[in-house]
Structure 1
Amino acid sequence: MVAGLLFLAFAFFAVGKASATRNGAQGAADAAALAAAQQARDEIGPAFLGALLLPGGLNDFFGGHYISGGPCNQAQRFAADNRADVVGGCQWNSGYQRDEVTVRVKTRNTVGDTVIPGTETKHATATATAVIEFRCSWKPAEKPDEGTNPPPDEDKDEDDKEETPGPITFDCDGRNRFEIDPLKPDPWSELGKALFAVHLIND
């Protein structure tokens, strides 16, 4: 009777250790996926701001940009901070105004030695997916009224008559409205967070 109760207690302990190991793996996967997505958001800044200088540039940017494996290095760093490793790299799924990254991790530690056979070599794995999502609409900022008949500029040659890109107004999440001047943009560390949301999603 006592032996049976002891075994049952140790079995519950083993289940608890396995659950803790799985939870650790999921936490590492979540952190790794978010880190990769945030790093990708940081890295797309130059291409995004460059697109503002071109007519229709944003549509071309969203339709043609692809994220490579660079941000996965950041995913591995965050997985390692949580005593895990990224398995199989980062899987990117790029779409229009939305990119997803899926990361699978494996814990460095095992469940440990328990009354259940095989747990001493059993690692936990987990998967997480994070999304980088553009959350704004945009349009050219309204130009000041120059009158119905502005005076011609006699000194401009033909090459100078090409219109200089003006500020663009972004309306984000229906509550954050601001302008970006393509020639004098604010730091991307601020703009990136205002323009692109990063969060986990359910697989």
Structure 2
Amino acid sequence: MRHRTRTDAGQAFPIYVVMVAGLLFLAFVFFAVGKAAALRNGAQGAADAAALAAAQETRKQFEGPFLASLPGKMLDPFLRAHPVLGCPAAYGLASANGARVTHCRPIPGGLRDRIRVEVKGRDPVDSPVVPDTENTFAETKATAVIEFRCPDWESVDFNDDGVQDMYFFTCRGGEMLEIEPSNPKPWSKVSKILYDVHLVDK
């Protein structure tokens, strides 16, 4: 009787080894999947921050061309064809968030400009049980929009000299804004009323 018990135990031991090895393998796989998901989330955060930084920098750079377009009634042409120049700002934000920008592309669109940023994480998944993961990095993208909030506007020439002395903007939500080209308000305040910057899905 004791001999049969030892035999049964001997036969069961390899099964236990296989089961433990299988469980360890699954644990490593789940760890790799979790790490990949965490790296992707980190890369997505870097992409979001980079895209927003590029859009905000572009909004800052609108100041000179925007104000120059006011006196001669050139506002409409400016809104239809202003440049999107904020991509350099994306690189620093991506790097600070553990990623690098692989591509930054402005997509001009008149009253609604887009900046699309693609990033690649700096840390590989590097799983010991999943092949080629030492060269697998999280890659993702984000798109930010610079949207003109005040499409309803009019200008007034008080002196009838052909030069517009005041511009009145009606913005979304009923917010009003007046700009006097000869004495404009600080752009840091005006730009946030005129232009909304936010992320979009596409």
1:86 to 73, 88, 101: 101
Supply the AA of the counterpart residue of 2:72. L
Q: How high is the TM-score relative to the length of structure 2?
A: 0.85
User: Does 2:149 align with 1:132?
Assistant: no
**CA deviation vs aligned residue, 1:83-115 (integer Å, no higher than 9, x gap):** 111113x21111121111101001111112332
Query: Structure 1 stretches (4+) deviating beyond 6 angstroms?
Result: none
Supply the AA of the counterpart residue of 1:65. H
Distance 1:46 1:85, change over 3 A: same
Q: What stretches of structure 1 of length at least 5 have no aligned partner?
A: 144-159
* Shift, 1:82, TM fit: 0.6
Equivalence for 1:6 = 24
Q: Is the partner of 2:21 in helix, strand or coil?
A: helix
Equivalence for 1:104 = 118
Equivalence for 1:157 = none
Task: Report which structure shows greater RCO (CA 8 Å, sep ≥6).
Answer: 1
Contact 1:37 1:132 in 2 (8 A): yes
Contact 1:141 1:179 in 2 (8 A): no
User: Does 2:201 align with 1:202?
Assistant: yes
Q: Is the partner of 1:95 in helix, strand or coil?
A: coil
Equivalence for 2:187 = 188
RMSD over aligned Cα atoms = 1.8
* Shift, 1:118, TM fit: 1.6
Q: What stretches of structure 2 of length at least 5 have no aligned partner?
A: 1-18
Equivalence for 1:58 = 75
Equivalence for 1:162 = 161
Identity %: 48
* Shift, 1:161, TM fit: 6.7
Which 10-residue stretch deviates more, 162-171 or 42-51?
A: 162-171
Q: How high is the TM-score relative to the length of structure 1?
A: 0.84
